[in-house]
């Protein structure tokens, strides 16, 4: 249609077709859309199912669980299992519920997150901006080391912690978390600081700021987003840890995950599935809340964190 | 001030070096030192305590003669292979679906990713409950009249590892999907425009243009999945405890049990060294391809 | 007295030599431009002067003091960066005062310095803003202000205008020149833009592969390039080159190609024109005229018009002489059509002749 006007040819006038004009009409229920949304809704339902089962079970009484199936919604809602899971459930001789594990986990997570992030951020900054001789070698070892199975290193670390008198204590575990969080966090911070234009660092040096001056006054204020990402990454990771908790702490300092496993998988007594599920939700609650509150930052955190496992 | 003094090499960037001490210690003492210590002691017959009585490769011979270890390795192979294939496949398909400029993309993504926020312990316990034959799917189907229907993966030694796999995939595919989605979005939008003008079908564009361009993301995902597979421990402990019998044992659990429960350190060290070897088999060729080639290129 | 003096400075990164035993003396109050293609080492040299890179060998003096091993802050320099490098979380005032605070200067003095710099650069209304709220030109002014408040002898500019659009660039160029006239301190300015170099510099140092090719005032650089590289690098469009031979000596020498024979009567050689020597003749587009009725027949050859590019103030005509393309600058107004046969005349008094092997000026 070189002339630009779309007048229908004389013979075709009978055709009732509207000539194309304005936005192209779209079908809301095209086959493509039904397929895409249908699949996504089905998959989402599958992913949500365990969460639903957990919540539903935790709100049922034991008699109801025995007669029904796990997918049935609770008929009589009871919060008794939650109370029991939090304050009465037994592990071994202790019968003060998950609350002990919760507070242990808080006592472990807070210092571990703080120390590991402080150490790694300074480390990453030193690596990004103050490349000194040999730094690359240690950094390479650190990153390669991240791939070594923990099982190879756990026993010698027990010996080291025993030698310095921290085996079995919360602080021993804090050190372990700082060590094993270091590769990924250092990488995270190093990459972030490397992405800050080097000219900024140079300008600060011409302005007479030193190592700590540049870190605190220039880099730190600019790195707040990455600190949030690191905090999310670490809180979730450390809260969810099981292996280090079970190895490096003692029963009365066990973190929540270890205690949860001991409650649910203990062989003595009658299985109280509702209490078990309430305890499971309680343990998963902290990372879940962080996940839903932080949203995009969490995604960014794991995406960046995952780049090197 | 007169002509300046050449600073001593050691004290140049002194603050940076002090700041790097934790990293240097971790790298040398933990990653290098502890690994070699374990490898070294895997050649001894240490039992309750590490002892320097060398027995050559006795521990390894015993390891490979152990039924439990062989089952662990087999389980790891099945679990690893299936996780790799299904994570990549499902992750990519879900990412491609989410990439169709759909509404509620964030909601869908949140739902598919939330299991990743949960620990393996929580994941294992939930799926232990969902797969419970007494109250779960098996009961529902039987109540419908199919009395002989059985679906009890966690109680059947032949398929228990697939029960673990279901849980593992539920927890981990969201992450792979997110990585893939980021990868798809990272591709130059003009590629899509060009494909549209050339009249190439959407699925063909994905298969022949997008996937080859996403090679780095696939490799990254592969390495992440692989390094997590070898460590799989919490999930098995929570979901099956290694059972029924020893049907769902995995190497990481073997190591833990021999180090901390069976008081047979040498055996644990040998097993963990084998794990290290397995990782090296995966990582070294990858590292060579990724970094070795770059140096020459 | 020399303001900045670079003596035998070398710098290698592993096997790559970035600076090769380089010498440069900058006079007090002089505006020096380091010009060259990317990777020639000009920015590296500037960073060495600033103390942001350690030299492998050699010495750097600023105001007579050996600063080779000094920290950047102790060198008496101020530096302006290409990306402005303003601290994003600080206000303009905070940016200007950061260096002075690090020196431990009294508040009243800092305020006085900032006030003066802000006045010179006319950025008083911006002092309370953050860099994110400023335009590119304003940011660069603040970046210059940060160097200004340090009250130093030597200003270092690292491609300060490269991130600006063409219009702002020419405006700020004038401002930098004005600033230099007002402050009269030494300025070392790195750029790859020859217009900036020619307009700003007292002297230009043209660099290639870590070596200064020529250090001269802009007109000499333009008219008498020391070698083939400088000749080709300076000027847009580039100088036209012809490969040929020298025939005859002194004032009766000729430049000879297979099809051309031009008398070198008006050419003033630096050295001697050796008969039979392979040489390259370089003529700038504005030293060629088209269809000049008063032309010297001996300097005129036949050509065919290929493409014409009108540029407003003048026109660029691409013609072909025996298959070789050359550019000719003409007055705007005369129009040529592709294929037109024309006569072109060379002005060899302002041409350059280079040795074909050594590529140096004869």
Q: How far is B136 from chain A (nearest CA, A)?
A: 5
At the fourth CATH level, the homologous superfamily of domain B58-296 is MetI-like (1.10.3720.10)
Residues of B in contact with C65 (CB under 8 A): 1, 3
pLDDT of residue C213: 94
Q: Is the Cβ of C65 closer than 8 Å to some Cβ of chain B?
A: yes
CB–CB contact B143 A69 (8 Å): yes
Examine the domain organization and report whether A34 and A144 are in the same domain: no
pLDDT value, residue A11: 47
Whether A291 is in a domain gets the answer yes
Q: Three-class SS of residue C293?
A: coil
Q: How far is A123 from chain C (nearest CA, A)?
A: 21
Contacts of B14 (CB under 8 A, 6+ apart): none
Residues 181-210 of A with CB under 8 A from C: 197, 199-200, 202-209
pLDDT of residue A97: 83
Going by pLDDT thresholds of 50, 70 and 90, the confidence category of residue B6 is: low
**Would residue A93 count as lying in a domain?**
no
A117 and A250, same domain (yes or no):
yes
Tell whether C13 lies on the interface with A, counting CB pairs under 8 A: no
HSE-up (13 A, CA, CB side) for residue A89:
34
Bridging pattern class, strands C203-208 and C186-191: unpaired
Q: Is B4 on the interface with C (CB under 8 A)?
A: yes
Contact C34, C222 (CB under 8 A): no
The number of CA neighbours under 13 Å toward the Cβ of A104 is: 29
- Judge if the upstream peptide bond of residue A186 is cis by omega within 30 degrees of 0: no
Residues A64 and A213 in one domain: no
- Give CA–CA dist C256/C245, Å, rounded: 5
Are both A166 and A44 inside the same structural domain? no
- Render pLDDT for C336-360 as a digit per residue (tens, 0 to 9): 888 889 989 998 888 999 998 888 9
CB contact under 8 A, B15 and A149: no
Q: Is the pLDDT of residue A9 over 80?
A: no
C contact test, residue of A136, A195, A200, A207 with most C CBs within 10 A: A207
CATH number for the domain harbouring residue A199: 1.10.3720.10
Of the candidates C71, C79, C103, the beta carbon closest to that of A203 is on: C79
Chain B residue with CA closest to A35: the answer is B97
Where does chain A have alpha helices with state H?
31-58, 62-67, 80-87, 99-129, 135-145, 150-163, 170-195, 198-206, 211-213, 220-222, 224-240, 243-248, 256-264, 273-294, 296-307
Same domain? A69 vs A203: no
pLDDT at A301: 66
Q: How far off is chain C from A277, nearest CA to CA, in Å?
A: 47
Positive or negative, the CA dihedral A191, A192, A195, A200 is negative
Which helix (DSSP H) or strand (DSSP E) does residue C289 occupy?
strand C288-290
Residues 6+ apart with CB under 8 A from A198: A129
A104 and A61 belong to one structural domain: no
Taking CA–CA distances from A150, the nearest residue in chain B reads B231
From the list B38, B234, B271, the residue facing A242 with the nearest CB is: B234
Give yes or no for residue B2 having a pLDDT over 60: no
Q: What distance in Å separates the CA atoms of residue C211 and residue C348, rounded to the nearest whole number?
A: 29
What is the rounded distance in angstroms from the CA atom of residue C220 to the CA atom of residue C206?
12
Q: What is the mean pLDDT of chain B?
A: 85
pLDDT digits (tens, 9 = 90+) for C18-49: 999 999 999 999 999 999 998 899 999 999 99
A41 with A170, same domain: the answer is no
Pairing of the two strands C77-80 and C254-256 = unpaired
Compare CB distances from B136 to A69, A291, A303 and report the shortest one's residue: A69
Q: Please name every residue paired with C211 in a beta bridge, in sequence order, or none if there are none.
A: C208
A260 and A138 together in one domain: yes
Residue A2 has pLDDT above 70, yes or no: no
Q: How far apart are CA A118 and CA C297, in angstroms?
A: 81
pLDDT at C253: 85
Domain that holds residue A235: 99-307
| A239·B119 Cβ contact <8 A | yes
In a domain, residue A264? The reply is yes
Lowest mean pLDDT among A35-49, A150-164, A172-186, A287-301: A287-301
With pLDDT > 70 as the criterion, what percentage of chain A qualifies?
Answer: 90
pLDDT at B1 over 50: no
What chain C residue is nearest to B2 in terms of C-alpha separation? C65
- Distance, in angstroms, between C230 CA and closest chain A CA? 29
Q: Give the mean model confidence (pLDDT) for residues A113-121.
A: 95
CB A116 within 8 A of CB A234: yes
Q: What is the pTM of this model?
A: 0.83
Q: Are A138 and A54 in a shared domain? A: no
pLDDT of residue A7: 47
- Looking at per-residue confidence, does A267 or B221 come out higher? B221
Measured over the CA atoms of residue C135, residue C140, residue C145 and residue C147, the dihedral's sign is: positive
Asked if the Cβ–Cβ distance from B135 to A69 is below 8 Å, we say: yes
Sheet of strand C2-13: strand arrangement: C16-27, C2-13, C57-62, C65-66
Closest-CA distance, C91 to chain A, in angstroms, reads: 13
3-state secondary structure at position B47: coil
Query: Tens digit of pLDDT for each residue in B64-108?
Result: 989 999 999 999 999 999 999 999 999 999 999 998 888 888 889
Task: Give yes or no: residues A228 and A287 share one domain.
Answer: yes
On the question of pLDDT at C128 being above 90, the answer is yes
For residues A153 and A40, membership in a common domain is answered with: no
Q: For residue B296, name the pLDDT band (cuts at 50, 70, 90).
A: very low
> Distance (Å) from the C-alpha of residue B27 to the closest C-alpha of chain C?
26
Give the start-to-end residue ranges of the domains of chain B.
1-41, 58-296
> Which pLDDT belongs to residue A302?
62
Q: What residues does C16 pair with on adjacent strands?
A: C13
Tokens of B129: 């409950």
Q: Do A206 and C79 touch (CB under 8 A)?
A: yes
pLDDT at C225 over 90: yes
The answer to whether residue A122 scores a pLDDT higher than 90 is yes
Q: How far apart are CA C298 and CA C311, in angstroms?
A: 30
Minimal Cβ distance to C85: which of A202, A208, A217: A202
With an 8 Å Cβ cutoff, is C287 touching chain A?
no
DSSP readout, B281-297?
A: HHHHHHHIIIIIHHHH-
pLDDT tens digits along C4-14: 999 999 999 88
Looking at the predicted structure, is the pLDDT value of residue A1 above 50?
Answer: no
> What is the structure's pLDDT at A16?
57
- In a domain, residue A219? The reply is yes
Q: Return mean pLDDT, chain A.
A: 85
Residue C285 has pLDDT above 70, yes or no: yes
pLDDT at B7: 59
- Strand C186-191 to C31-35 pairing: parallel
Cβ–Cβ contacts within 10 Å for residue B192, how many? 15
Higher per-residue pLDDT: B198 or C245: C245
List of domains in chain C: 2-233 (3.40.50.300), 240-355 (2.40.50.140)
Distance (Å, rounded) from C-alpha C34 to C-alpha B189? 40
Residue B294 has pLDDT above 90, yes or no: no
What average pLDDT does the segment C177-196 reach? 92
What pLDDT, in 10s, does the model give residues C131-160? 999 988 899 999 999 989 988 889 999 999
Do A41 and A103 lie in one domain? The reply is: no
**Per-residue pLDDT, A12:** 47
Among A298-307, B6-15, B186-195, name the one with the lowest average pLDDT: A298-307
Peptide bond connecting A28 to the previous residue in cis, omega within 30 degrees of 0: no
What count of CB pairs under 8 Å joins A to C? 60
């Amino acid at each position: 249609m070189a002339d630009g006007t779309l007048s229908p040819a004389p013979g075709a006038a009978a055709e009732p077709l509207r000539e194309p004009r304005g936005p192209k009409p779209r079908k809301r229920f095209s086959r493509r859309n039904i397929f895409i949304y249908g699949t996504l809704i089905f998959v989402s339902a599958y992913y949500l199912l365990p969460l639903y089962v957990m919540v539903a079970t935790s709100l049922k009484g034991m008699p109801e669980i025995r007669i029904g199936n796990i997918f049935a919604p609770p008929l009589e809602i009871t919060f008794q299992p939650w109370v029991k899971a939090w304050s009465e459930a037994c592990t071994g001789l202790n019968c003060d519920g998950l609350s002990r594990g919760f507070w242990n986990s808080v006592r472990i997570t807070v210092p571990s997150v703080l120390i590991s992030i402080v150490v790694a951020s300074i480390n990453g900054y030193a690596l990004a901006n103050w490349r000194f001789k040999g730094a690359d070698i240690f950094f390479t070892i650190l990153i390669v080391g991240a791939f070594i199975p923990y099982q190879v290193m756990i026993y010698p670390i027990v010996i080291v912690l025993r030698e310095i008198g921290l085996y079995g204590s919360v602080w021993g575990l804090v050190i372990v978390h700082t060590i094993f969080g270091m590769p990924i966090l250092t990488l995270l911070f190093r990459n972030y600081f490397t992405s800050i234009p080097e000219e900024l660092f140079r300008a600060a040096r011409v302005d007479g700021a030193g190592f700590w001056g540049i870190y605190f006054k220039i880099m730190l204020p600019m790195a707040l987003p990455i600190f949030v990402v690191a905090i999310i990454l670490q809180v979730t990771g450390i809260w969810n840890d099981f292996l280090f908790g079970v190895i490096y702490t003692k029963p009365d300092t066990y973190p929540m995950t270890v205690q949860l496993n001991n409650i649910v998988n203990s062989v003595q007594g009658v299985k109280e599935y509702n209490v078990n599920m309430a305890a499971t939700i309680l343990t998963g609650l902290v990372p879940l809340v962080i996940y839903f509150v932080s949203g995009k930052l969490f995604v960014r955190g794991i995406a960046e964190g995952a780049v090197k496992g | 001030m007169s002509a300046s003094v050449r600073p001593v090499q050691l004290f140049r960037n002194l603050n940076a070096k002090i700041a790097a001490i934790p990293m240097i210690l971790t790298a040398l003492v933990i990653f290098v030192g502890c690994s070699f210590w374990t490898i070294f002691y895997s050649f001894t017959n240490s039992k309750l305590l590490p002892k320097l009585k060398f027995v050559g490769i006795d521990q390894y011979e015993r390891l490979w003669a152990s039924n439990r270890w062989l089952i662990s390795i087999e389980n790891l192979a099945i679990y690893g292979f299936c996780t790799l294939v299904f994570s990549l496949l499902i992750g990519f398909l879900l990412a491609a679906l989410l990439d169709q400029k759909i509404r509620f993309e964030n909601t869908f993504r949140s739902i598919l990713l939330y299991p990743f926020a949960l620990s393996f312990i929580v994941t294992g316990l939930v799926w232990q409950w969902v797969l419970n034959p007494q109250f779960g799917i098996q009961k529902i189907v039987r109540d419908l009249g199919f009395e002989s229907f059985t679906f009890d993966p966690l109680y059947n030694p032949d398929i228990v590892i697939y029960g673990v796999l279901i849980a593992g995939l539920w927890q981990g595919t969201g992450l792979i999907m997110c990585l893939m989605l980021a990868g798809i979005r990272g591709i130059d939008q003009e590629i899509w425009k060009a494909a549209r003008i050339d009249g190439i079908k959407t699925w063909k564009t994905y298969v022949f243009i997008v996937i080859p361009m996403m090679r780095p993301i696939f490799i990254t995902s592969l390495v992440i999945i692989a390094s997590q597979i070898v460590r799989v421990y919490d999930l098995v402990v929570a979901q099956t405890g290694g059972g029924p019998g020893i049907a769902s044992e995995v190497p990481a659990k073997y190591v833990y049990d021999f180090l901390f429960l069976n008081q047979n350190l040498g055996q644990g060290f040998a097993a963990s060294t084998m794990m290290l070897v397995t990782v090296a088999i995966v990582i070294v060729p990858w590292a060579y391809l990724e970094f070795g080639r770059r140096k020459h290129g | 007295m020399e303001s900045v003096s670079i003596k035998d400075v070398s710098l290698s990164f592993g096997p790559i030599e970035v600076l090769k035993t380089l010498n440069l003396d900058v006079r007090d109050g002089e505006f020096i431009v380091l010009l060259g293609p990317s990777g020639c080492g000009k920015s590296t040299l500037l960073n060495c002067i600033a103390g942001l890179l350690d030299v492998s060998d050699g010495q750097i003096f600023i105001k007579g003091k050996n600063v080779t091993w000094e920290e950047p802050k102790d060198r008496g320099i101020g530096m302006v960066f290409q990306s402005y490098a303003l601290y994003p979380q600080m206000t303009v005032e905070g940016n200007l005062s950061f260096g002075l605070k690090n020196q431990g200067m009294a508040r009243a003095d800092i305020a006085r310095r900032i006030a003066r710099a802000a006045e010179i650069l006319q950025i008083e209304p911006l002092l309370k803003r953050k860099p994110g709220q400023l335009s590119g030109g304003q940011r660069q002014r603040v970046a210059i202000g940060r160097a200004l408040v340090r009250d130093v002898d030597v200003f270092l500019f690292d491609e300060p205008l490269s991130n600006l659009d063409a219009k702002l660039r020419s405006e700020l160029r004038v401002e930098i020149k004005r600033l230099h006239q007002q402050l009269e301190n030494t300025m070392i300015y790195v750029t790859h833009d020859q217009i900036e170099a020619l307009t700003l510099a007292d002297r230009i140092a043209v660099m290639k592969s870590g070596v200064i090719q020529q250090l001269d005032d802009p007109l000499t650089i333009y008219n008498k390039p020391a070698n083939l590289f400088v000749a080709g690098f300076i000027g847009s469009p580039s100088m036209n080159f012809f490969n040929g031979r020298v025939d005859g000596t002194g004032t009766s020498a000729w430049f000879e190609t297979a099809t051309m024979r031009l008398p070198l009567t008006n050419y003033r050689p630096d050295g001697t024109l050796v008969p039979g020597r392979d040489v390259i003749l370089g003529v700038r587009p504005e030293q060629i005229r088209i269809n000049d009725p008063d032309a010297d027949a001996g300097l005129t050859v036949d050509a065919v018009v290929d493409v014409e590019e009108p540029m407003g103030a003048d026109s660029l005509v691409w013609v072909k002489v025996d298959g070789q393309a050359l550019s000719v600058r003409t007055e705007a107004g005369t129009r040529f059509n592709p294929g037109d046969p024309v006569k072109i005349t060379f002005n060899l008094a302002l041409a350059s002749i280079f040795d074909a092997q050594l590529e140096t000026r004869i």
